[in-house]
Structure 1
Amino acid sequence: MHTDDADTVHYRLRRQSRTPAWLALSWRALVALALIGIALAVHWFDRGGLRQNSGEPVTFADILYFTMITVTTVGYGDIVPVTQQARMFDTFVVTPIRLFVWLIFLGTAYDFLLKGVWEKWRMSVIQRRLEDHVVVAGFGTSGSEAVSELIRRGADPGMIVVVDERAAALRTAESCGTTVMEGNATRNAALEAARLSKARALIVSAGRDDTSILIVLTARRIAPDLPISVVIRSEDNEAIAHQAGANVVINPASFAGLLLAGSTHGAHTAEYMADLAASGGRVVLREREVAADEVGKPLAAIATGLGHRIYRGHQDFCFWEPEAARLEAGDIIVEVVPRR
């Protein structure tokens, strides 16, 4: 486990803006130009209602000057509207245009000058209030697939926090709508900044077994009761990952081997196993606590799905075992239910 010095870098969350900066700037510039163009056109066609103090005829250059000055300020008085029609136009059209243009200018200044400060403050507030979220340490192949599956299952992308040191991986995670944080997940400060102690679960997929196990050790120290799932590549390291504190250890190669081996015993076995594991299938595996009205009944009698196994304390019992004939309070049921 890594500890951090007092002068270590502060870890900050961030989320990708949904609107590209260039698009927002272009739209605002076009709106401002369109409003100014309307004022310019009307002033030109109604130039007879304007008069210069010098008495000279009003030219297009004078109209352009008068429009820009009137839209951006209240005017200098060297060119004035003299007819009722010109005055009403300046009152009810040019004045609102002036306000809109100033609002556009102020909004643009906010977005491109003040928004960075605002975003840092906003994300710090989110960081302090973050709770019941899922932390994903490592956004490689397995981590990205886990995030995609969580989103497909209905998880709010903003409640998924991806921790990684690679800028490219974080950009990809941001494009999914997740909250990201650049940092080393083996360090206490990084996991504490991700509010791990308030999280719902931790998924570890660092790409290297030693790094993943170190993350599990660090996380278990911060959150002793947090459910931790970890991807381990080598079968020799699975027991070590369990000893480090992982609740679930997944070996992608072993799982692929199970599917391949199952396919040799029937064309549909592997398909059904994949169907159970994925959110896009017709059925899904679900884990839940036994309901009060189910206590005392057999596992086969539950009405919500097809019960496969129960977990009672540190023991598990399958549907054919005698212990499954009577459900008890506190039992955890693993069942197969139709996908909704």
Structure 2
Amino acid sequence: MRRGSTSHHRPLSLHRKSRTPAWLSLLWRMLLAFGLIGIALAVHWFWRDGLRDNVDGAISFLDVIYFTMITVTTVGYGDIIPVTNQARMFDTFVVTPIRLFVWLIFLGTAYDFLLKRVWEKWRMSTIQRHLHNHIVVAGYGTSGAEAVCELLRRGADGSDVVVIDERPAALQAAADCGATVIEGDATRNATLEAVQIGRARAVIVAAGRDDTSILIVLTARRLAPGVPISVVVRSEDNEALARQAGATTVINPASFAGLLLAGSTHGPHIADYMADLAATDGRVALHERMVTAAEVGHPLASIGTGLGMRIYRGDRMFGFWEIEAGRLEAGDLIVEVVPRGEMAMPAR
């Protein structure tokens, strides 16, 4: 998981699975280190006449191995020293860079296989502890990307939008937009538990395939029984399946486009107004909120925050023209049309 960067968010990478197996990466580093040491050893043996042993005066193969390893890992002890200009120049311009590379390989290996994993595990647990009342977006395709961008444009904080996807390129794009991202399969319990789905404010599922999206809805509903789940499906036949799986809202892009097209045939401004409601830069927006104590007992038409359109009372829905909308009750959900500048994200 990692947190995206915006003007006020620093990139935070918590987990990115390497495409190269760990054992192969370690093997390549070891071969590179031994290869560099082998080069130094071969040249030292070839130019052994340029070395002097201050102990017995003779340079054997074991002396060359000893001198090479001591010189590569340290600066030497002085018992064997280069005495010719050729040997000194080789140690200066070849062995010294080899020493630096070998140390970097060892330090990089220690970081990748030990320190990095401990550090990223700690950072991931830190982010998970702070995930409360957030929005989980499963899938960062066309619909998922637009949903994330719309949430951010409407004022959502990047740390409150968590994107799940298996494609590194999609995750990078989401992180660049400012969202928190995690690489994983959203159909798996472990992935959804990692993003604390039980504490989420809402879940958006846009996997790109109806069967995958429905499976994600099933998994998410089992882990988070009370969290609203919105899902995008492409086939009308799958809308009922998505609802049976536990989706609160099922959206069919083709059906919505059809509504706009059909509306345009009944007047040139109908489709324009519907698009105005949906667009971020529109003049008006739909807003859903709980009824306030001061509004209880009054008609829907009397609310002062916007133009009341519907109320949801339990599992029933009433329009502004129906008798039930003439008296608001505690627990009612109001859907109203408000000026765009007065609509705010739900409180955290």
Shared fold, TM over 0.5: yes
Count residues with an aligned counterpart. 239
Aligned partner of 1:284 in structure 2 is 285
Residue type of the alignment partner of 1:282:
R
Report the alpha carbon displacement of residue 14 of structure 1 after superposing the two structures with TM.
1.1
- Once the two structures are superposed, the pairs formed by residues 134-153 of structure 1 within 5 Å of their partners are 134-153=135-154
Aligned partner of 1:332 in structure 2 is 333
* 3-state SS of paired residue (1:132): coil
Partners in 1 of 2:303 and 2:5 — Cα distance?
46
Q: Structure 1, residues 251-297: CA drift from partner, whole Å, max 9, x if none? A: 00000000011111111111110111122111000001111111111
Aligned partner of 1:33 in structure 2 is none
Partners in 2 of 1:115 and 1:153 — Cα distance?
35
Aligned partner of 1:67 in structure 2 is none
Aligned partner of 2:45 in structure 1 is none
TM-score, scaled to structure 1 = 0.67
* 3-state SS of paired residue (2:162): strand
Aligned partner of 1:188 in structure 2 is 189
Aligned partner of 1:263 in structure 2 is 264
Aligned partner of 1:208 in structure 2 is 209
Aligned CA distance change for structure 1 residues 16 and 332 (closer, same or farther; 3 Å): closer
Deviates more, 1:288-297 or 1:115-124: 115-124
Aligned partner of 2:90 in structure 1 is none
Q: Structure 1, residues 120-178: CA drift from partner, whole Å, max 9, x if none? A: 42232111331111000000000000000000100001211100111111111111111
Partners in 2 of 1:16 and 1:339 — Cα distance?
27
Cα RMSD for the two superposed structures: 2.0
Partners in 1 of 2:261 and 2:128 — Cα distance?
43
Partners in 2 of 1:290 and 1:310 — Cα distance?
9
Aligned CA distance change for structure 1 residues 325 and 179 (closer, same or farther; 3 Å): same
Aligned partner of 1:175 in structure 2 is 176
Aligned partner of 1:70 in structure 2 is none
* 3-state SS of paired residue (2:227): coil
User: Is 1:157–2:158 an aligned residue pair?
Assistant: yes
Partners in 2 of 1:291 and 1:214 — Cα distance?
37
Q: Structure 1, residues 270-328: CA drift from partner, whole Å, max 9, x if none? A: 11101111221110000011111111111111111000010111110101111111111
Aligned CA distance change for structure 1 residues 230 and 17 (closer, same or farther; 3 Å): closer
Partners in 1 of 2:116 and 2:183 — Cα distance?
20
The 8 Å contact of residues 5 and 177 in structure 2, kept in 1 or not, is answered as no
Partners in 2 of 1:257 and 1:194 — Cα distance?
35
Aligned partner of 1:14 in structure 2 is 2
The 8 Å contact of residues 289 and 334 in structure 2, kept in 1 or not, is answered as yes
Report the alpha carbon displacement of residue 17 of structure 1 after superposing the two structures with TM.
5.6
Unaligned runs of 5+ in 2: 12-106, 342-348
Partners in 2 of 1:267 and 1:251 — Cα distance?
23
Aligned partner of 2:307 in structure 1 is 306
Aligned partner of 1:237 in structure 2 is 238
Report the alpha carbon displacement of residue 216 of structure 1 after superposing the two structures with TM.
0.3
Partners in 2 of 1:118 and 1:272 — Cα distance?
51
- Once the two structures are superposed, the pairs formed by residues 1-80 of structure 1 within 5 Å of their partners are 13-16=1-4
Aligned partner of 1:296 in structure 2 is 297
* 3-state SS of paired residue (1:310): strand
* 3-state SS of paired residue (1:207): coil
Partners in 1 of 2:305 and 2:2 — Cα distance?
40
Residue type of the alignment partner of 1:202:
V
Aligned partner of 2:122 in structure 1 is 121
The 8 Å contact of residues 138 and 186 in structure 2, kept in 1 or not, is answered as yes
- State, as a whole percentage, how many aligned pairs show the same letter: 72
Partners in 1 of 2:286 and 2:178 — Cα distance?
26
Report the alpha carbon displacement of residue 117 of structure 1 after superposing the two structures with TM.
5.5
Residue type of the alignment partner of 2:301:
A
The 8 Å contact of residues 210 and 238 in structure 2, kept in 1 or not, is answered as yes
Unaligned runs of 5+ in 1: 1-12, 21-108
Partners in 2 of 1:16 and 1:219 — Cα distance?
24
Residue type of the alignment partner of 2:2:
R
* 3-state SS of paired residue (2:225): coil
Aligned partner of 2:131 in structure 1 is 130
Partners in 2 of 1:291 and 1:132 — Cα distance?
21
Aligned partner of 1:247 in structure 2 is 248
The 8 Å contact of residues 204 and 229 in structure 2, kept in 1 or not, is answered as yes
